[in-house]
Amino acid sequence: MSKPSKAAPSPGWLTRFDRMSDSAAAGVYLTPTYILLALTILFPMAYALFLSFTKMEFVSGHAHFTFVGADNYIKLVQDARIPNVLLQTFLFTVVKVAGTLFIAFGIALTIFHGIWGGEFFKRIFLIPWALSNVVNGLMWKWMYNGNNGIINELMQKLGLIDEYKSWLAEGSTALGAVIIADIWKSVPFAALILLAGLQTISKELYDAGQVDGAGTIQRFFHITLPSLRPVLMVLFVMETMWALRAFDIIWVLTQGGPLDKTMVINVYAYEQAFRNFDMGYGSALAFFITLCTLLFTAVYLKTIGKND
């Protein structure tokens, strides 16, 4: 009777891998991802940080860097345009986020409760979100055209204006026009998230509230809003961060004009870096934006932690 053959021993590295804990094995699997993130995120950030402490000059077609320490950050504090830029950024962010959440909530409730027009919204409301910001910006630029734009045509026929207006060229209307275009782009995603949140609320809560004599408004404020609080907070943070880094749609529509009326911090950083070729100052502005975003996120996380 022949003896059974022994299985070939597995390679040493494979044996060691089999003995790894789940967390260690996960770390090995994620190593390529970590490397990719380091190359695409950490390296550019480190390079931008380096640039923010330098002054770059082009000599005979070659870039030359001169270390200037904190001069670019001192320039940021002393820049006379910064207060207006920060004000425009604040106004753009607040109005855009509030308008997006308000309209998205209305659309989500319309679809969820099957109100007239809900099916119509369900079929078309993702179209703006599917368009790129550049395409969205070009479309609104044509609509706002002061000579033959459809916005002027509609408003004149409705008796809201007496003559055509250059919406993007007038300081009193430019920022509002840009905000409307960005809200139109942002609403579908927010509405989709809110609709998903509404669908997780138990119908039994509404039935119990109705039995207790709660009206529609009372059920909204005591059942719907409290149940959607986590979703609303996440959306608030996401929309705020997206508003703070808004660039492409503003650049397509106004490039920060007229007279800096739509000059938000990202557009200003781009102008300094790639129009004025002051890469050091542009990088310092970029890190200032990053600092503001991180500060906002830290405050949000601390607030959520206290409430929980």
In a domain, 119, yes or no: yes
Q: Which residues contact 34 (CB under 8 A, 6 or more apart)?
A: none
In the predicted model, is pLDDT for residue 184 greater than 70?
yes
Structure tokens at 91: 């106004």
Contacts 24+ apart (CB under 8 A), 61-65: none
What pLDDT is stored for residue 18 in this prediction? 56
pLDDT digits (tens, 9 = 90+) for 229-261: 888 888 988 899 899 888 999 999 999 888 889
Q: Tell me, yes or no, whether 243 lies in a domain.
A: yes
Whether 177 is covered by a domain: the verdict is: yes
Does the pLDDT value for residue 38 go beyond 60? yes
Has residue 197 been placed in a domain? yes
Share of the chain above pLDDT 90, in %: 31
91 lies in some domain: yes
Cα distances (angstroms) measured from residue 291 to each of 66, 125, 271, 288: 24, 34, 20, 5
Is residue 18 situated within a structural domain? no
pLDDT tens digits for range 204-224: 887 787 777 777 788 888 888
SS3 category, 58? strand
Find the CATH number of the domain harbouring 163.
Answer: 1.10.3720.10
Q: Is 66 inside any structural domain?
A: no
Confidence of residue 292 (pLDDT cuts 50, 70, 90): confident
Structural domain total, the chain: 1
Q: Which residue has the higher pLDDT, 40 or 184?
A: 184
DSSP characters over 226-245: HHHHHHHHHHHHHHHHHHHT
Tell whether 162 is covered by a domain: yes
Domain holding 243, by residue range, is 71-307
pLDDT of 5 higher than 60: no
The upper half-sphere exposure of residue 229, i.e. CA atoms within 13 Å in the direction of its Cβ, equals: 8
pLDDT at 175 over 90: yes
